[in-house]
């Protein structure tokens, strides 16, 4: 294998595939990046066996030559060194040549590196997924749906299935749900194009979705999504992102969501968020970062917390509307702040069914997103 490549193209592709490379893998070859050169261009692959990422640099694109292939072939180079080296090379062009015994020469300007490579035949094959049943979604919508749900996955391995986001497809609508059993985030959106496979409920590891969000740029270009029994593939023009799926049945969360309410508050999200944030300055030093909300007759709610031996904080926030029963309820400030940030909404509605029951936070005029929080007993 021998080729010359534009350094910036190589750095971008390396940064993408590095998202899948883990230094803590038990499979030594996966500490490497696989580099393959064909006459069409250069493909880089990184994998930690849960996530696999393939990034393609075309030899030519819109009349610009990115790669000059002198000899096709492939090699695996240690990701840690290769990724740092390519970033610090002195010139715009990099020459890469595999010599005897997988030894690989990387030359740019007067700098010459020789890295001991690994046999590319030992690198695992990526899943073979036919894209017959691909549906499409704008990339920015996919990123938003992930951002609005993935923070609510469980970080505990007690119930592994809860560390992922449940994707269900019903009536050409994609419904994303995440819960750690203390709170729940749900977001849905119609699927406008493509063909949906007969697999209509999967659980995607939260980590995979977070890494995917880091790689994808904010555009409204479409991304292809293919779901199989145990894998999901996200595919753009030059990128393949594979993630394994989590096994096990995702719990039916629909019955968690209350339908009758005793107290409803409509409030400006920003004012409410800032008051919670300030109360959290003291609450986060205590047990579980818990703040208390109290409704008042004068159309306001009070956020308060007391931290023994330090002090207390109280703040009244005016409501746009406050109807129903009087209420005192305690909840995690962190969960509330996560939910409010995910809603992306100016005005929100909070619907309570009593101090001991889960409550809902929603935008005022938008049914496509919902956040649910379980209160904390403080008596």
Choosing from 115, 118, 322, 376, the residue that interacts with its own copies (CB under 8 A) is 115
Closer of 60 and 112 to its own copies (Cβ): 112
- 312 sits near its own copies (criterion: CB under 8 A): yes
Closer of 47 and 280 to its own copies (Cβ): 280
- 348 sits near its own copies (criterion: CB under 8 A): no
Which one of 110-118, 142-150, 168-176, 365-373 is the stretch in contact with its own copies (CB under 8 A)?
110-118
Which one of 48-56, 107-115, 124-132, 210-218 is the stretch in contact with its own copies (CB under 8 A)?
107-115
- 281 sits near its own copies (criterion: CB under 8 A): yes
Which one of 78-86, 150-158, 211-219, 332-340 is the stretch in contact with its own copies (CB under 8 A)?
78-86
Closer of 119 and 192 to its own copies (Cβ): 119
Closer of 115 and 343 to its own copies (Cβ): 115
- 356 sits near its own copies (criterion: CB under 8 A): no
Distance of closest approach, residue 67 Cβ to its own copies, in angstroms: 23
Distance of closest approach, residue 358 Cβ to its own copies, in angstroms: 28
- 28 sits near its own copies (criterion: CB under 8 A): no
Distance of closest approach, residue 315 Cβ to its own copies, in angstroms: 4
CA distances from 178 to 70, 143, 173, 312 (A): 49, 15, 17, 33
Closer of 209 and 291 to its own copies (Cβ): 291
Distance of closest approach, residue 269 Cβ to its own copies, in angstroms: 15
């Amino acid at each position: 294998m021998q080729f010359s490549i534009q350094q910036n193209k190589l750095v971008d592709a390396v940064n993408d595939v590095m998202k899948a490379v883990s230094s803590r893998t038990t499979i030594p070859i996966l500490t490497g990046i696989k580099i393959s050169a064909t006459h069409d261009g250069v493909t880089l692959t990184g994998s930690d066996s849960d996530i696999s990422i393939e990034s393609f640099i075309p030899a030519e694109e819109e009349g610009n030559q990115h790669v000059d292939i002198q000899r096709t072939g492939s090699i695996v180079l240690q990701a840690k060194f290769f990724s740092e080296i390519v970033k610090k090379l002195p010139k715009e062009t990099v020459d890469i040549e595999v010599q005897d015994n997988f030894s690989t020469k990387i030359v740019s300007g007067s700098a010459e590196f020789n890295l001991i490579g690994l046999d590319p035949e030992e690198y695992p094959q990526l899943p073979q997924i036919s894209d017959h049943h691909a549906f499409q979604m704008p990339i920015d919508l996919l990123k938003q749906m992930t951002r609005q749900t993935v923070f609510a996955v469980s970080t505990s391995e007690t119930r592994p299935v809860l560390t992922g986001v449940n994707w269900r497809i019903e009536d050409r609508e994609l419904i994303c749900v995440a819960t750690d059993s203390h709170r729940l985030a749900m977001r849905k959106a119609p699927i406008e194009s493509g063909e949906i496979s007969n697999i209509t409920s999967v659980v995607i590891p939260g980590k995979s979705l977070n890494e995917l969000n880091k790689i994808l740029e904010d555009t409204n270009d479409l991304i292809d999504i293919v779901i199989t029994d145990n894998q999901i593939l996200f595919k753009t023009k030059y990128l393949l992102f594979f993630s394994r799926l989590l096994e096990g049945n995702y719990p039916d969360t629909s019955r968690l969501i209350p339908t009758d309410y005793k107290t409803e508050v409509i409030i400006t999200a920003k004012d409410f968020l800032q008051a919670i944030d300030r109360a959290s300055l003291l609450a986060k030093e205590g047990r579980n970062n818990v703040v208390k909300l109290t409704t008042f007759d004068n159309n306001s709610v009070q956020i308060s917390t007391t931290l023994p031996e330090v002090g207390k904080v109280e703040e009244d926030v005016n409501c746009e509307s406050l109807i129903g029963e009087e209420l005192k309820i305690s909840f995690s400030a962190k969960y509330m702040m996560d939910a409010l940030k995910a809603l992306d909404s100016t005005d929100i509605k909070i619907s309570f069914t009593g101090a001991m029951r889960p409550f809902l936070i929603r935008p005022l005029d938008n049914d496509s997103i919902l956040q649910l929080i379980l209160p904390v007993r403080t008596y």
